[in-house]
Chains A and B, each alone.
Chain A
Amino acid sequence: GAVVSQHPSRVICKSGTSVKIECRSLDFQATTMFWYRQFPKQSLMLMATSNEGSKATYEQGVEKDKFLINHASLTLSTLTVTSAHPEDSSFYICSARNSYGYTFGSGTRLTVV
């Protein structure tokens, strides 16, 4: 149990376009999900905490208008990278808390060209 599905696993987009990443809890309800970003050879940095039915809480330095988070149901949170630029290229990963602890998605490799 406690599976988190993240899609897509890889995406390449043109500069200036928007990309949506989905994070689904498959067998449990997640009132809170977390979005992380990993730069090459660096650790995961928490970007925002996604709360079902309310606004996300963003970490300092993260542009909320650029990284739109929607958590409209207890099993789905989405991260939309708006007007993507090459510097947004990174590995994005979500996690959700459940009775077993925290489960991570498999991540999304975003490349902006």
Chain B
Amino acid sequence: GDSVTQMEGPVTLSEEAFLTINCTYTATGYPSLFWYVQYPGEGLQLLLKATKADDKGSNKGFEATYRKETTSFHLEKGSVQVSDSAVYFCALSDQGTGNQFYFGTGTSLTVIP
């Protein structure tokens, strides 16, 4: 079945450090891939997405490339800020399974000044 494996946290970085959160997936069809962010006390917000292989999603300095050959969708940001502290979820949605979402376990990021 479909699944998402996400790098475990928590991750603690200093401000302006480079961020990578690894995400790999297993899917029966051709999924769309997503990164969601959950700020403290809030719900999920879509951060970025990619709907087909080699697409790059980007938003707020974050980016992730849909790599079909490695079944990966790693999240990166060149210079993190304190305001990026949140929990990040990798997810996929597969038409073959009725577009149900499958989420990774989430990675907690804390950025310290």
Which residues in A have their C-beta under 8 angstroms from that of B31? none
The answer to whether A34 has its CB under 8 Å from any CB of chain B is yes
Residues of B contacting A: mostly: strand
Q: Do A43 and B104 form a contact, CB below 8 Å, given A97-B99, A101-B49, A102-B93?
A: yes
Are A44 and B89 touching (Cβ within 8 A)?
A: yes
Q: Do A43 and B106 form a contact, CB below 8 Å, given A97-B99, A104-B43?
A: yes
Q: Do A43 and B89 form a contact, CB below 8 Å, given A97-B99, A101-B49?
A: yes
User: Which residue of A34, A41, A93 contacts B43 across the interface (Cβ within 8 Å)?
Assistant: A93
Q: Do A42 and B105 form a contact, CB below 8 Å, given A97-B99, A101-B49, A102-B93?
A: yes
Are B101 and A107 touching (Cβ within 8 A)?
A: no
Which residues in B have their C-beta under 8 angstroms from that of A95? 101
Which residues in A have their C-beta under 8 angstroms from that of B42? 106-107
The answer to whether B100 has its CB under 8 Å from any CB of chain A is yes
Taking the nearest CB of chain B, how far is it from the CB of A39, in angstroms? 10
Which residues in B have their C-beta under 8 angstroms from that of A101? 32, 46, 49
Taking the nearest CB of chain A, how far is it from the CB of B32, in angstroms? 8
Which residues in A have their C-beta under 8 angstroms from that of B100? 34, 46, 49
Are A34 and B49 touching (Cβ within 8 A)?
A: no
Contact string against A for B residues 19-50, beta-carbon threshold 8 Å, 1 for contact and 0 otherwise? 00000000000001000100000111110010
Question: Which among A34, A44, A45, A107 has the greatest number of chain B C-beta atoms within 10 A?
Answer: A44
Are B106 and A102 touching (Cβ within 8 A)?
A: no
Which residues in A have their C-beta under 8 angstroms from that of B105? 42-43
The answer to whether A6 has its CB under 8 Å from any CB of chain B is yes
The answer to whether B103 has its CB under 8 Å from any CB of chain A is yes
Nearest CB to that of A100 among chain B residues? Answer: B46
Question: A interface vs B, CB < 8 Å?
Answer: 6, 34, 41-46, 49, 93, 95, 97, 101-102, 104-107
The 4 closest A-B pairs by CB, nearest first: A106-B43, A107-B43, A104-B44, A43-B105
Given contacts A43-B103, A43-B104, A93-B44, 8 further A-B contacts (CB under 8 A): A34-B100, A34-B101, A41-B106, A44-B101, A104-B36, A106-B42, A107-B42, A107-B43
